[in-house]
Amino acid sequence: MATIVICLILVVICIVGIRSMINRTAHGCCGGGGDNVKKVKVKDKNVSHYPYTCTVGVSGMTCSNCKKRVENAFNEKEGVYAVVDLAKAQAVIHMKEKMPEDEIMSTIWQSGYEPDGLKFS
């Protein structure tokens, strides 16, 4: 009897895992149903106009939509231009006025990802 119960539990776990994998493949890691996140346009992309720059690690990003979410969270702020490198799992944030560290970390958290180390240059 115990063997049957264990087998049923394993079957249920396998079914849930397979369905999750199918959904992730069909809809992307963000579950967005294939919808692309629209990128926020930055008016001034000339980095020489931004005297402050920081680099911060961002954990949890897995696709281009994740990248756009983090970039958008910063780029919608006035005087900020952010570029995210998905492969390096980091964001380079250019600022016209220095943004407090806690605001940078909070912006990443609010976009759904985990900040990991921050370095001003």
**pLDDT above 60 for 27:** no
Encoding tokens for residue 94?
Answer: 């250019």
- Per-chain mean pLDDT for the chain: 88
Domains of the chain in sequence order: 47-120 (3.30.70.100)
| Alpha carbon distance 105, 115 (integer Å) | 6
**pLDDT above 80 for 92:** yes
In the structure, what pLDDT confidence band is assigned to residue 16 with cuts at 50, 70 and 90?
Answer: confident
Kindly report, residue by residue over 43-61, the tens digit of the pLDDT.
999 999 999 999 999 999 9
CB-based contact 43:80 (threshold 8 Å): no
Q: What is the pLDDT of residue 30?
A: 63
Q: What is the pLDDT of residue 1?
A: 85
| Alpha carbon distance 68, 38 (integer Å) | 8
| Alpha carbon distance 89, 58 (integer Å) | 5
pLDDT more than 70, % of the chain: 87
Encoding tokens for residue 61?
Answer: 């990003």
